[in-house]
Amino acid sequence: MYLLALLFVLAISALTDFLSTVSRRRCGGMAAVLHAVRMGLAYLVMLAVMSFNGGILVAAVAGHALGFLLSRSLLLRRAESNHADDTGGASAGQLPPSKIISSRS
């Protein structure tokens, strides 16, 4: 039962951090709903940590780290794919052949 509680706190804290990244990319009513859900989950994690149990604290910190890692890697992957689409599939730092400007006049 204790292991289940640790996994639950880890999952909720990871979801909280993931939702913080996702909610920044939305606007309007959806952003408000995501913010409310994120705040509710953050308060649940806070209440769990206030039990002064070391295992719960470690699970919460590990969950936030996992959520940060997953959300940032998802954003980086999405940014790289958008960058590749903008440059026509060229790798970073290189322009596609159609966009190279000749320096000869």
Read off the pLDDT band of 20 (50, 70, 90): confident
Judge whether residue 1 has pLDDT over 80: yes
In sequence order, which residues have a C-beta less than 8 Å from that of residue 31 and are 6 or more positions away?
Answer: 23
Share of residues in the chain with pLDDT > 90 (%): 46
**64-67, long-range: CB < 8 A, 24+ apart:** 64/13, 64/14, 64/16, 64/17, 66/10, 66/14, 66/17, 67/13, 67/14, 67/15, 67/16, 67/17, 67/18
By C-alpha distance, which of 61, 71, 52 is closest to 9?
61
Q: What are phi and psi of 95, to 5 degrees?
A: -95, 150
Judge whether residue 96 has pLDDT over 70: no
**75-80, long-range: CB < 8 A, 24+ apart:** 75/21
Residue range 39-86, pLDDT digits in tens: 999 999 999 999 999 999 999 999 999 999 988 887 767 766 766 655
What is the pTM for the complete model shown? 0.67
Strands (E), the chain: none
Judge whether residue 103 has pLDDT over 60: no
Question: Which pLDDT value is given to residue 40?
Answer: 95
Computed on alpha carbons and rounded to an integer, the radius of gyration of the chain in Å comes to: 21
* Mean pLDDT computed over every residue of the chain: 81
| Domain spans in the chain, listed from the N-terminal domain onward | 1-79
